[in-house]
Chain A
Amino acid sequence: MKSLRRFFARLFNLATRTSQDARLREEIEEHIAMQTAENIRAGLSPAEARRQAFLKFGAVESMKEAHRAERGLPSIESFIQDFRYAFRSLQRTPGLTFFVILTLAIGIGMVSGTFSMADALIFRLYPVPHPSGIVSLVGTTQDSSFEDFSYREYLDLRDKTKSYDGVIANAQMEAVGFSAKPGDTSRVKGGMLVSGNYLQVLGVQPALGRSFRADEDQVPGRNAVVILGPEFWRHEFGGDPSVLGRTILLNGVDFTVIGVAPEKFQGMQIFSHPDFYMPLAMARVFATNRQKNFFEDRDDRELTLRARLKPGVTLQQAQNELTVLARNFEHDYPNLNRNRGAAVHTQFEMRTRNDDQNWKFMVIFLTLALAVLLVACTNVAGLLLSRARARTHEVALRLALGAGRTRLIRLLLSESLILAFAGGLAGAAIGYGFIEWFHTFQTVIFMTDLPNAIPFQMDTRVLTATLALSLLSAIACGLVPALQSSHTDVVSGLKSSEVDLPGRKRLWGRNVLVIAQVSGSLMLLTASFLMYRGFKHDLLEGTSFTKDHLLMVGFDPRLVQYDAAKTQQFYKLLSERMRETPGVQSEALTQNIPMGQDGQDDFDGLAFVPEGIQMPRNRESFTSTMDTIDEGYFTTFNIPILQGRDFLSSDTADSPRVAIVNEFFAKHYWPNQNAIGKRFRLDSSVGTPVQIVGITQSVKYAGSSEKAMDFIYLPLSQHPIPRMILMLHSEGDPLQLVQPLKDVMRTLDPNLPMLRTMAYSDFYENTAIKGPGIAIKLVAAMGAAGLFLAIAGLYGVIAYNVSRRTREIGIRMALGACASDVLRLVMGKGLLLVSIGTAIGLVMGFAVERAMNSMLFNVGGVDLVAYLVVVPSLLIVTMLAAYIPARKASQIAPTQALRYE
Chain B
Amino acid sequence: MNKKTDVLQGTLALMVLKTLDVLGSLHGYGIARRIEQISGDVLAVNQGTLYPVLLKLEQEGAIASEWGASENNRRARFYKLTREGRKQLQLETQGWEQTAAIISRFFEAKAEKLS
Contact = CB atoms under 8 A, between A and B. Distances in A.
Given A5-B59, A9-B59, A28 B48 contact: yes
Contacts of B32: 31
A38 B71 CA distance: 12
A6 B44 contact: no
A63 B51 contact: yes
Most chain A CB atoms below 10 A, which of B46, B59, B76, B77: B59
Interface string A465-476: 000000000000
A848 B88 CA distance: 69
Nearest to A30: B76
B48 A70 contact: no
A58 B56 contact: no
Interface in A757-771: none
Contact of A5 (B33, B61, B70): B61
Contacts of B28: 27, 30-31
Contacts of A59: 46, 48
Contacts of B4: none
B97 to A, nearest CB: 20
Contacts of B105: none
A28 B45 contact: no
A306 interface: no
Main secondary structure of the interface of A (DSSP, over half): helix
Contacts of A35: 29, 47
A721 B27 CA distance: 100
Given A27-B28, A30-B70, A71-B55, A66 B77 contact: no
Most buried by B among A26, A31, A38, A70: A31
A404 to B, nearest CB: 16
B48 to A, nearest CB: 4
Contacts of B77: 23, 26-27, 30
A30 B49 CA distance: 15
A31 B29 contact: yes
B74 interface: yes
Contacts of A66: 49, 52
Contacts of B3: none
A24 B70 CA distance: 16
A57 interface: yes
A2 B76 CA distance: 27
Interface in A67-103: 67, 69-71
Contact of B55 (A31, A33, A70): A70
A58 B45 contact: yes
A34 B31 CA distance: 12
B104 interface: no
A673 B72 CA distance: 125
Interface in A1-42: 2-3, 5-6, 9-10, 23-24, 26-28, 30-31, 33-35, 37-38
A60 interface: yes
B110 interface: no
B29 A70 contact: no
B75 interface: yes
A57 B47 CA distance: 4
Nearest to B74: A30
Interface string B52-81: 100110011110000000101011110000
A591 B86 CA distance: 89
A586 to B, nearest CB: 92
B60 A58 contact: no
B48 A57 contact: yes
Given A35-B29, A58-B46, A66-B52, A10 B76 contact: no
Contacts of B75: 26, 30
A63 B59 contact: no
Contact of A56 (B27, B47, B76): B47
B44 A56 contact: yes
Interface string B27-45: 1110011000000000011
Contacts of B56: 6, 70
B86 to A, nearest CB: 14
Interface string A159-200: 000000000000000000000000000000000000000000
A67 B51 contact: yes
Contacts of B49: 58, 63, 66
A37 B29 CA distance: 12
Given A34-B29, A34-B70, A56-B47, A63 B52 contact: yes
A679 B73 CA distance: 121
Most chain B Cβ neighbours within 10 Å, of A10, A34, A58, A60? A34
Contacts of A58: 45-49
A69 B33 CA distance: 25
Nearest to A38: B33
B48 A5 contact: no
Contacts of B74: 30, 33
Contacts of B52: 63, 66-67, 69-70
A66 B53 CA distance: 9
B48 A6 contact: no
Nearest to A62: B48
A54 to B, nearest CB: 10
A5 B75 CA distance: 29
The 5 closest A-B pairs by CB, nearest first: A58-B46, A63-B48, A9-B59, A58-B48, A34-B29
Given A10-B59, A67-B51, 15 more contacts: A9-B60, A26-B77, A30-B29, A31-B28, A34-B70, A35-B29, A37-B72, A38-B33, A56-B44, A57-B46, A57-B48, A58-B45, A58-B49, A63-B51, A66-B49
